[in-house]
A and B are shown apart, each in its own frame.
Chain A
């Protein structure tokens, strides 16, 4: 079963609007990361939030983490056409037996 599941699967907004995507997971974690992937390219690390943190900001990005609900959200404010990409979350529980898994991602389209 997937550990990180993104929601919604697709999101289409206008430039300047905010975009919110969510991630749910099943087991306890050490940290959670959000990534961006432009079509056919590698995953770009956006932000890491640790299990003892509730909110983190980086530029136009805001990530929240609710460990009681096993969920995280990524907010992109004042979106730009260049933000068009797929966004993935991944969770890390540490340890040698841990297999990093990803959901199918959220495909964000920002229309100019």
Chain B
């Protein structure tokens, strides 16, 4: 099976712009979650989707949003970018709603905000 894929892998934006990141889960996986990783804050949970519904959300401002499509693919959007949004954004997928078979990560999208 192909793993979790994320596009693009690298992105450079300027402050005030918006960005959309894409994630394709492992085939058959219906849960997709997003994480932000920075040197200062480490890995932080953004949100999780299951069957097109957002199940949980981390402590991030409303500029961070996401959605999941019927084919389980997910997108994450960040509006009005700030310098502090520069980070590695990781997407992960799991098969079942309780994640009993594990959570598997993609390679990440490196976002740089100038």
Q: Tell me the A residues contacting B by CB distance below 8 Å.
A: 30-31, 33, 35, 40-45, 48, 50, 88, 90, 92, 94-105
B45 pairs with A100, CB closer than 8 A: yes
A102 pairs with B56, CB closer than 8 A: no
B102 pairs with A96, CB closer than 8 A: no
- A-contact bits for B43-79, CB 8 A (1 contact / 0 none): 1010010100001101000000000000000000000
Q: Which residues of B contact A44 (CB under 8 A)?
A: 105
Cα separation A88 to B44 with both chains bound (whole Å): 13
Q: How far is the CB of B7 from chain A (nearest CB, A)?
A: 13
B94's nearest neighbour on chain A, judged by CB, is A92
Number of B residues, CB within 8 Å of A: 27
Cα separation A40 to B88 with both chains bound (whole Å): 7
B108's nearest neighbour on chain A, judged by CB, is A42
Name the prevailing secondary structure of the B interface residues: strand
Q: Which residues of A contact B33 (CB under 8 A)?
A: 100
Interface residue ranges of B79-105 to A (CB < 8 Å): 88, 90, 92, 97-105
Contact of A41 among B50, B92, B107 (CB under 8 A): B107
Cα separation A44 to B104 with both chains bound (whole Å): 8
B105 pairs with A95, CB closer than 8 A: no
Cα separation A103 to B41 with both chains bound (whole Å): 10
Q: How far is the CB of B25 from chain A (nearest CB, A)?
A: 14
7 new A-B contacts at CB < 8 Å, known A33-B102, A43-B105: A31-B100, A33-B103, A96-B55, A99-B48, A101-B43, A102-B42, A104-B42
Contact of B58 among A43, A45, A99 (CB under 8 A): A99
A–B complex contacts, Cβ < 8 Å, 15 sampled: A30-B99, A31-B99, A31-B100, A31-B102, A33-B102, A92-B99, A92-B100, A94-B100, A96-B55, A96-B56, A98-B56, A98-B99, A100-B48, A100-B92, A100-B103
Q: How far is the CB of B105 from chain A (nearest CB, A)?
A: 4
